[in-house]
Amino acid sequence: MKQFQCISSPENERYKLAKALTKGHGRKKYGLFIVETPVLVLDVLKGGWHIEWVALTPHFAETAKGMEIIELAKGKAIDITLMKEKLMDEISTVESGGSVIAIVKQRHQNLSDIQLKQKDCVFILEDVQDPTNVGAIARIADAIGAAGIIATVGTADRYNPKVLRSSAGSALHITFVKVANTGELHGWLKENEFKVIATDPHYGECCYKYHFGERVAFLFGNEARGLSESMRSIADLTLTIPMHGRAESLNVSHACAILAYELLRQWYYADEMAKQHKGGE
């Protein structure tokens, strides 16, 4: 790999940039984000993202996966550099250390970018601060084919490395909109005929007794405080997930998964299950 320059000093400007992008203020300042792990780097290379440059450790560059990344980057005329293992490890947020990174331009998406189907749902996150929760919810949204995620400014950054990893790349696949104005959000939901559903661990209609409509917006609040009164005010109703043990509540991503798949069951499988049940009588 002699054709590539190798970053060997922490004074290198690219090293400094990559290090800055592991923090929220750095991502905000530069409008870029850092992608780690071979799987996620391949994901952005194949996903139409604007990539500034890619860096690999000399050892990883010699592997089959490393050579695949290099060939893809070359094909897209993306700048490639090497980086000493010690420096890559200092940048990496992965416990086992890093082998490859990509520096990628952020996408700023608006409510108008959300493409809706006749049957569709969105997840609205208010101050959900744990990146692993946001990542898990992004993965659920991607899995069920949701239109997207709408998040308040207090919610963990989509481009946080922990969000990207815990979503297994799904945060890069879905439409992800940040909103600061609840009024604008409420207007968009009404215009697009969403049934807006708040969630609560202690009260509300049982989620298994409620018949979902064709367009559903689920509201999920902060891990400790739940939903604010202003966000609750835009909900059409509140649903709860029944619990029969000693737990006081569910993790927000677990609650999201339960509601999402109950919605999917009703949309696509309820009639089929009813027919099977009737045929077995």
Spatial strand order of the sheet with 176-179 comes to 176-179, 148-152, 120-125, 215-220, 195-199, 237-240, 205-206
Structure tokens at 261: 């798949």
**CA-to-CA distance for 198 and 208, rounded, in angstroms?**
15
- Residue 207 has a CB neighbour count (10 Å cut-off) of 18
Find residue 62's DSSP bridge partners: none
Residue 164 pLDDT: 96
**Confidence band, pLDDT 50/70/90 cuts, at residue 269:** confident
In terms of C-beta density within 10 A (0-12 exposed, 13-18 middle, 19 or more buried), how is residue 119 classed? middle
pLDDT in tens, 240-268: 999 999 998 999 999 999 999 999 999 99
pTM: 0.92
CA 44 vs. chain centroid, Å, equals 14
**CA-to-CA distance for 88 and 18, rounded, in angstroms?**
9
State mean pLDDT over 134-160: 97
pLDDT in tens, 13-72: 999 999 999 999 999 999 999 999 999 999 999 999 999 999 999 999 999 999 999 999
Mind listing the domains of the chain with CATH numbers?
A: 6-105 (3.30.1330.30), 111-275 (3.40.1280.10)
Three-state DSSP at 277 gives helix
**CA-to-CA distance for 147 and 122, rounded, in angstroms?**
6
**Confidence band, pLDDT 50/70/90 cuts, at residue 118:** very high
Length of the chain in terms of residues written = 281
Mean pLDDT of the chain: 94
